[in-house]
Amino acid sequence: MTLDPRQLGTGGLFAAAQPDLASHEAAYGKRPSGWSRNALLAELDASGLTGRGGAGFPAWRKLAATSAGRAVVIANGAEGEPVSRKDAALLRQAPHLVLDGLVTVGEAIGASTLFLYATADSLPFVAQALAERRDRPKVKLVEAPEAFISGEASAVVNALETGIALPRDKPLRLGKSGYEGRPTLLHNVETLAHLALVARFGADWFRSAGTADDPGTRLYSLSGDVPTEWVVEAPGGATIREVLRLGGVDASSLAAVLVGGFHGAWVPAEGFDLPLTGRGLARYGATPGAGVLMALARGRCGLEASAGIVRYLAESSARQCGPCMFGLPAMASVVERIAAGERTPWLASEAERLAGLVTGRGACRHPDGSARFVHSTLAVFRDEVQTHLSGMCTAHRGWTH
C-alpha cells in the first residue's frame, strides 16, 4: 500500500505542476482504491491528521463517529473568513487531491452521496477536474454563499438541504444524523487532501513532516500588512516567524499577528518564535484554526484594526439567537468607543462583561469565537487600551479627544 513519495517527487499539497489529472498523477501516482473503513481509521489514527477547517478534531475520530448505512460525505471548501484563501487555492490548483480524499473516504464508509460545497469562484475548477476523471465519481457540487458563517457545520447541512446557509438553532450530531437525518462525515477540503496523501503514502510518511505534536504540513493564508497575500504550506509546529518568512514577510516589521482568523487571537511580536500549535500558543489562547495569519504592522493601531473586526462579526450574526443578535453589536460599539479614544474608564470592563455574557449563549459558536477575539484584543493591547482610555493613541502619535 505504501509508496515512497520521494520517488514520485511529491513535496506536499501543491506538488503537481498543473491542476489537470495527468500532472496530478505524475506527481502523486494513481489514487489507491480499496481502503476498508477499519484500515483507513487505523492509518488516520497513526498519522495524527487533524482537521484543517478550524476545530482541529482528529480525522480518525470523525470517521469513527460516523455510523454505517446511507452515509453522506461533504467536502467543505466554504471559507467564510474574509482573509482565508487556502481552500480556494487548493481547489484551484489541486482539485484532484481533494477529490481523491473525498472519494477514498466515501468508498471506505460505503457512502451513497458525496458533496463538495464551495464558493462560486472555486466550483468551475472542481467541475473541470471531475470531467476528466476516469473513475467518474458522482460528486454533487453545491455553491456556498460568501458569508462568514456559511462554512459552519450545521449551516453547511442546511445549505445542502434547503439552499439557505444558516446555522441550525439546535446542535447536530452529524455522525449519526446530519444531512436528511443520515450519517454525515464533513471534512474541510484541506483535510481531505491530506487524507488522500495518507491513503497513498502512509502515516509514517505524513509524520515525516512536522512534529510529534503537530504532524504533517498545514496551509496558511497570509494577509493584512504583508507585501503580498500568499497561501503557504509549512510543516506542523513551525513558528509564526518561520511561516511569515516562507511568505516573504519580515516579522520584525510587525507588532502582532492575528492567528486563526476573526474567531482567533492576537499574538504579539514576543510570541513569534513559539510553535503555531494550540499548546505552543496557549498563553495567548490562539490555535492555528483554519490557518489564517493576519499581520499588523508596527505603528498601526491594534484597537482600530480590532474594532473593525468586531463590527464585522456583529454584522455576521445570523440573527436567530437573542444574545448573538443584540450582544455582539453592543460589544462592537464598546470596542469602537475604546478605539476612538473615549475617556470613559469602565469601557474595558464593559467589553469584558459583554464578552462573558454572550459566551455559550448561541446555537452555534459564533458568539464564543467573537467573545474570544474581544478578550484577546483587550489582553494583547492592554497598554494601548489604557492609553486610549486617557484619550491618547500611540499609533496615531498621541492624538487626544
Are the C-beta atoms of 41 and 63 separated by less than 8 Å? yes
Half-sphere exposure (CA, 13 Å, Cβ side) for 206?
26
| Nearer residue to ligand SF4 within complex by CB, 62 or 365 | 365
Cβ distance to ligand SF4 smaller for residue 364 or 380: 364
CB of 170 to ligand SF4, least distance (A): 10
Q: Which parts of this chain interact with ligand SF4 (CB under 6 A)?
A: 149, 167, 317-321, 324-325, 362-364, 366-367
CB of 307 to ligand SF4, least distance (A): 20
The pairing of beta strand 72-77 with beta strand 113-119 = parallel
Q: At its nearest, how many Å lie between ligand SF4 and the CB of residue 316? A: 7
Residue closer to ligand SF4, measured from CB, 257 or 313? 313
Q: Quick one: 178 or 271, whose CB is closer to ligand SF4?
A: 178
Nearest approach, Cβ of 149 to ligand SF4 (angstroms)? 5
Question: How many CB atoms neighbour CB 18 within 10 A?
Answer: 12
Amino acid at 260: G
Q: Could you tell me the smallest distance in angstroms from the CB atom of residue 172 to ligand SF4?
A: 12
Helix (H) / strand (E) element for 246: namely: helix 240-246
Closest distance between ligand SF4 and the C-beta of residue 148, in Å?
A: 9
Residue number with CB closer to ligand SF4 (293 or 335): 335
Closest CB to ligand SF4 among residues 215, 327: 327
- How far apart CA 140 and CA 123 sit, in angstroms, is 11
Assess contact for 154 and 62: CB atoms under 8 A.
no
- What count of Cα atoms within 13 Å lies in the side-chain half-sphere of residue 301? 23
CA-based torsion, 261, 267, 269, 271: positive or negative: negative
Q: Which residues contact 383 (CB under 8 A, 6 or more apart)?
A: none
